[in-house]
Amino acid sequence: MNKKNILILGASSDIGQKVINIFLQNNWRVYAHYNSNLKNIKNNNFLFKNNLEFLKSDFSKQKEFTKFSKFVNKIHFHSCINLIGYIDNVSFKKTTIKSLVKSIQINALMPLIIQRDMLKKMEQKKFGRILNISSIGVKYGGSEFTFNYSYSKHCLEYVPRHIRKLAKSNILCNVLRVGVVNTKIHKKIKSKNISKRVKLIPIKRMATTNEISDIIFNLASEKNSYISGEVITIAGGE
């Protein structure tokens, strides 16, 4: 196939790095967005690095986002994955309008605007894949210190009617609700007893990053030809 372009938002996460590799291995040109953890990505031994470009932007800062948005709008992206997972460790009792809006802005609002702006070129080429990564916390209410995070992920599970209609133009948009995965993100959450949490999972273990990245590739690439407008859960039976 001819090389296709994909924008991966939040690519410095553990899952993001696996996703970068799987798309590179399948002859995609990858634009990997990050905020501050470029070192995490560059330490990886990626294959086909000549097809990989890093893009920095802090989505909490309007000027940075505007500059980033102008750049990506010049490129025809065939696919976009939103893996951003900003966690502020603010409990529901202590959340404020400012902290809640910041989480929604970073995790949901700015990625939505970027994806919206991609649609015109996707329609012209009759191909587009959009995938937003949600969290099992949406189903269960999250932990004590992930209220803002879970609330913003809940916003991602709304798939606009307009985007649903674009399936006729081969633009498929889905949400993947991910359960507990064996990544470093758990160390960022206050008071999280991971062994106790794993016992609640019917399959009795965390998912691996490979398991999640494989599903992501299947949904956000040409391998997906008929799934659209869905919220799909991968959470070990939860």
pLDDT for the residue 162: 87
pLDDT of residue 190: 60
Going along the chain from its start, the domains and CATH numbers come out as 4-234 (3.40.50.720)
Read off the pLDDT of residues 118-135 as tens digits, 9 standing for 90 and up. 999 999 999 999 999 999
Q: For 13-62, how does the pLDDT look when each residue is reduced to its tens digit (9 = 90+)?
A: 999 999 999 999 999 999 999 998 777 776 676 767 789 999 999 999 99
Mean pLDDT of 85-91: 93
Q: C-alpha distances in angstroms, 203 versus 49, 139, 183, 206?
A: 36, 17, 17, 8
Measured distance CA(55)–CA(117) in Å, rounded: 17
The sheet that has 128-135: what strands, in order across it? 52-56, 28-34, 4-9, 79-82, 128-135, 171-178, 231-234
208 exposure class (CB count in 10 Å sphere: 0-12, 13-18, 19+): middle
The string of DSSP codes covering the chain is: ---EEEEEETTTSHHHHHHHHHHHHTTEEEEEEESS-HHHHHTS--SSGGGEEEEE--TTSHHHHHHHHHHHTTS--SEEEE---------GGG--HHHHHHHHIIIIIHHHHHHHHHHHHHHHHT-EEEEEEEETHHHHT--TT-HHHHHHHHHHT---HHHHHGGGGTEEEEEEEE--BSSGGGGGSTT--HHHHHTTSTT-SPBPHHHHHHHHHHHHSTT-SS--S-EEEESTT-
Q: Tell me the C-alpha to C-alpha distance, in Å, between residue 159 and each of 12, 163, 186, 227.
A: 25, 7, 28, 13
What pLDDT is stored for residue 189 in this prediction?
A: 63
What number is the average pLDDT over the span 208-212? 95
135 residue type, one letter: S
Q: Name the residue with higher pLDDT: 159 or 216.
A: 216
What confidence tier does 192 reach under pLDDT thresholds 50, 70, 90?
Answer: low
- Model confidence at 187, pLDDT cuts 50, 70, 90, reads low
pLDDT greater than 60 at residue 191: no
Determine the Cα angle at 56 with ends 232 and 98, to 5°.
70
What percent of the chain is modeled with pLDDT above 90? 78
Q: Please tell me the predicted confidence (pLDDT) of residue 188.
A: 64
